[in-house]
Structure 1
Amino acid sequence: MTMRQLPDYDDLPSFRGIPGCAWDVWGKGDELGTVNLLTNTVVQQAAREEIRTGKRVAVDLPVNFFTQPLFGRRPAEITSWVKPSDRRDEEIRINTQSSSHWTGLLHFPLPGHGVLYQGVSCSTAPVGTLNINEPGNVDPNTICLGIHGWAQHGISGRGVLLDVARHYSMAGNTPPYDPFRRYEISSATLEACARDQGVVFRPGDILLLRTGFLESDVSPLTFQMIVPMWGMPIGKLFNLDVLSEHCAEASRYTFFFSSWPINVLGGVASPPNAMAIF
């Protein structure tokens, strides 16, 4: 499917009365969702136009950044030791969503309906320890919708930073976020921010939204229907402060974005391993 063939949101069918179901856009059995937009042509154009100086900005927080991760998740445990050969080894035990991460297609079902992206029943998704003895001969149903799909495809293309926190401060305002209440950033605010930054969107853009979370402990992002209905990756807890400073200095809010999730067959989520390249 080409960009021009993509349906408008209003033309998407409903699922059990809920509008905006994109399961058929990429065909039955699709496990990439909107990552399908990141074609070879899109990535090539982004690299050709956006990589000019070679400046690189990492946007991952350390996996052990949070001593008390959100939603009761366990903090990372890092253990190292010296072997008899004097070589050092280590083991890292992490919740893949305890720091910067991509939320995978297995993480969030359609509320109240018990189905994941493509209508896959939550009851068929394995839980508990996933033992894979023959990685080259795995039952597709066992790892259906796993993070390995995005890991093997890659999430790379033209990145766009909408620096909402800076947008408010430049207007002499403080972000209207309350850390103890839900807050939704309106499309009008995002459009105004894009205009101020001189950003013109195009299909396949990877949108990074800086809300000032690390400064105010506020995250206004929500899942709504994005993961189960659209198959769209949601990245959370990215470290966008250094990226914000560089974009402001360069007066440029677009760049080449490259992210490679860890390649875990059947994985639920992953650290992003991401950077912006100017």
Structure 2
Amino acid sequence: MEGLPKFSDLPLNKGDPHHSAWGLYGKDDQLGFLNRLTDEVVLEAAKEIQTGARISLNWPLDAQKDIPFFGRQVFHQHMYNKPPGLSMTTSGRSTLKAAASVRDGLRHFAYQKEAKFYNGVTMDDIHAEGSVVNGIGAWSEKGIVGRGVLLDFHSWRLENNIPYEPFKTGSIPLQQLKAVAEAQGVEFKFGDILIIRSGYMAAFNELKKDELAALAKVMPPTFSGVEQSEEMLEWIWNNFSAVAGDQPSFECWPTQKDFMLHEVLLSGWGCPIGELFDLEALAEHCKKVGRWSFFVTSEVCNVPGGVASPPNILAMF
């Protein structure tokens, strides 16, 4: 993209946290990487709609029932009589950061050492009376809409006999993700929405309840995800407007480095992170039609000051 600072120029301001790009879109910006989704980029992405096929990537809100990972609250649905019909309410944090598909917002994760969020926002700023700064509601105005690309790592690694254990700390190397893109014939466009099928959801669906309960008790929890590396960060910086996967943490967890991708992506760049996306039907359709790019529309909940939201996401072909 013309005018985009080089990755090697980060951080943009002396004294700011590592790799940060604070001020790139203005000191009060709350959209971050979503500024990359210009009208022109979205219009071009709309060309991906050719057949009208639509696929949801939303894992049901009650998918993990009473065995959530990361200590997240389960989804609660309350039914009560209200003649002449039946009404329903939901409760808990399930509408924001539940044990289901989620889109992390800019209040979710700070630079750990500096204790600062995107564009230098502090915890005091967030907890100030009436403050909605960096709230996910700011993303709801135009949504997260553009060209999505699925990298089906799970299918690729099975075809190439590459071992992968989603419930153990481990990394998906950038080199392998690039190999997946090459095998699929994918060519990235600036502003693409990156979606990675690691195989976590496929593995989760095969486990019995007692196995899930045992894994949920592992503290800290351990998951495989994309590697923490300078190369991974540079790849994301140069190409994408948002990232997501079917894993609980997107990146390897716990981190194997002295930093976490969450710090840089959310707090440094304002790059949305999607987790626990259900990519099984999407992967099947992509393989069937031989195309791994599509139009994406994701409308997060309009919660002023919200930390996270269900993605409410559809892929259209």
> What is the TM-score normalised by the length of structure 2?
0.78
Long gaps (5+) in structure 2: 205-222, 226-249, 252-259
The one-letter amino acid paired with 1:104 is G
Deviations 1:117-163 (A, max 9, x none): 00101122128xx8xxxxxxxx5xx1000011111121000000001
Matched, 1:185 2:172: yes
Aligned counterpart, 1:176: 164
SS in structure 1 at match of 2:41: helix
Determine helix, strand or coil for the equivalent of 1:108.
coil
Which residue of the partner structure matches residue 211 of structure 1? 198
Q: What pairs up with 1:46-57 in 2 under 5 angstroms?
A: 46-47=45-46, 49-57=47-55
CA drift at 1:180: 3.0
**Cα gap change, 1:175/1:56 in structure 2, threshold over 3 Å: closer, same or farther?**
farther
| Deviation of the 1:12 alpha carbon | 2.0
CA contact (8 A) 1:63 1:94 kept: no
Q: Alignment partner of 1:25: what SS?
A: coil
Match of 2:119 in 1: 118
Q: Distance in 1 between matches of 2:82 and 2:16?
A: 60
Deviation of residue 29 (structure 1)?
Answer: 0.8
Match of 1:216, SS?
A: helix
Q: CA deviation at 1:64?
A: 1.1
Q: Deviations over 1:71-126 (max 9, x none)?
A: 11110100112213x12211111422221010000010001211000010112212
Partner of 2:60: 62
1:87 counterpart (68, 72, 85): 85
The aligned counterpart of 2:272 is: 233
1:157 alignment partner in structure 2: 146
For 2:136 and 2:80, locate their aligned partners in 1 and report how far apart those are by CA, in whole Å.
30
The one-letter code sitting in structure 2 at the alignment partner of 1:152 is E
Q: Identify if the C-alpha distance between structure 1 residues 156 and 178 changes in structure 2 by more than 3 Å, giving closer, same or farther.
A: closer
Shift of 1:177: 2.4
**Could you tell me whether the CA contact under 8 Å between 2:202 and 2:280 is conserved in 1?**
no
SS at 1:262's partner residue? coil
What amino acid does structure 1 have at the position aligned with 2:53?
K
Residues of 2 paired with 1:25 and 1:253: CA distance?
A: 31
Of 284, 295, 307 in structure 2, the residue corresponding to residue 245 of structure 1 is: 284
How many residues align structurally? 260
The answer as to 2:103 corresponding to 1:105 is no
- 1:144-199 deviation line (CA, Å, top 9, x unaligned): 0001111112100000000110110122x144225132x22221111111000001
Please give the secondary structure, in 2, of the residue aligned with 1:22: coil
Residue 70 (structure 1) shift? 1.6
Q: Which moved more, 1:14-23 or 1:183-192?
A: 14-23
SS of structure 2 residue aligned to 1:5? coil
User: What pairs up with 1:256-271 in 2 under 5 angstroms?
Assistant: 256-271=295-310
Residue pair 2:151, 2:195 contacting (<8 A) in 1 also: yes
Structure 1 residue 54: deviation in Å? Answer: 0.1
RMSD: 1.7
Cα–Cα, structure 1 residues 94 and 209, in superposed 2: closer, same or farther, change >3 Å?
Answer: farther
Structure 2: which amino acid aligns with 1:125? I
Q: CA deviation at 1:56?
A: 0.3
Long gaps (5+) in structure 1: 131-138
Sequence identity percentage: 37
Output the CA distance in 1 between the equivalents of 2:166 and 2:103.
24
SS of residue matched to 1:72? coil
Q: Could you tell me whether the CA contact under 8 Å between 1:165 and 1:175 is conserved in 2?
A: no
Partner of 1:135: none
- Pair 1:33 & 2:20 matched: no
Partners of 2:56 and 2:36 lie apart in 1 by: 23
